[in-house]
Chain A
Amino acid sequence: KAGVTQTPRYLIKTRGQQVTLSCSPISGHRSVSWYQQTPGQGLQFLFEYFSETQRNKGNFPGRFSGRQFSNSRSEMNVSTLELGDSALYLCASSATTTGVGQYFGPGTRLTVT
């Protein structure tokens, strides 16, 4: 079974631009969660989607948004990029909504200059 895939793996953007990251979950998994990892803040939860609906949301500004498609693939968007948005963005998929069995992708490394 293929794992969680994320594209692109690396991205360089300029302040003020926007970016869209993509995540394809493990086949059969309907839950997709997004996390941001930075050296200063560690791994922080952004949001979770299940069956195209946002179920949980972390404490991030409205510039961070996401969506999920009917095939469970998910995208997250960051608008008006700031230098502090430079981070590793990780996607995790799960067959459940109860915390068990979350599998992470390799991440997208975003650098904002």
Chain B
Amino acid sequence: DQQVKQNSPSLSVQEGRISILNCDYTNSMFDYFLWYKKYPAEGPTFLISISSIKDKNEDGRFTVFLNKSAKHLSLHIVPSQPGDSAVYFCAASAPGYGGATNKLIFGTGTLLAVQP
């Protein structure tokens, strides 16, 4: 049962344009979402997160939008740069008795290629 889904395995974008990466989830109990970027043979690097009580969080070129009614979140990167080329994972924090936990449930990832 894939609770967190990234339906686009890959995305290609021109440098300077907007990259939009999408993620859907099924468990309405998730209350914390994160985006990670990963290069081959390295560990994931934390990018940005959002609590379920918010619908938007922004950090520099990265903005995450959360639509709880649709159980959908997206990561916007503006402007896109060639160095952004990597695999992007969305993750949800599995709920526990006291709220969000450190058990992350990951999507399958989207490979972003930013063309110069």
* Partner among A42, A44, A98, A107 whose Cβ is within 8 Å of the Cβ of B101: A98
Contacts of A56 in B (CB 8 A): 94, 96, 101-103
Q: Residue-by-residue, is B49-67 near A (CB-CB < 8 Å gives 1, otherwise 0)?
A: 1000000000000000000
Contacts of A74 in B (CB 8 A): none
A37 to B94, CA, bound (A): 18
- Name B65-111 residues within 8 Å CB distance of A: 89, 91, 93-94, 96, 98-109
Contacts of B96 in A (CB 8 A): 56
* Partner among A45, A92, A98, A109 whose Cβ is within 8 Å of the Cβ of B99: A98
- B43–A99 CB distance below 8 A: no
Tell whether B44 is near chain A: CB-to-CB under 8 Å: yes
> Nearest Cβ in chain A — how far from B84, in angstroms?
18
Tell whether B45 is near chain A: CB-to-CB under 8 Å: yes
* Total A-B residue contacts, Cβ distance less than 8 Å: 80
Tell whether A58 is near chain B: CB-to-CB under 8 Å: yes
**Quick one: closest B residue to A32, CB to CB?**
B102
Q: List 11 A-B residue pairs with CB atoms under 8 Å apart, sorted by A's residue number.
A: A43-B104, A45-B94, A48-B103, A50-B102, A56-B94, A56-B102, A92-B102, A92-B104, A96-B102, A97-B102, A99-B49
**What residues of chain B have their CB less than 8 Å away from a CB belonging to chain A?**
32, 34, 36, 41-46, 49, 89, 91, 93-94, 96, 98-109
**What residues of chain A have their CB less than 8 Å away from a CB belonging to chain B?**
4, 31, 33, 35, 42-45, 48, 50, 55-56, 58, 88, 90, 92, 94, 96-107, 109
* Extra contacts besides A43-B44, A92-B104 (9): CB < 8 Å: A97-B101, A98-B32, A98-B101, A98-B102, A99-B49, A100-B32, A100-B100, A101-B46, A102-B46
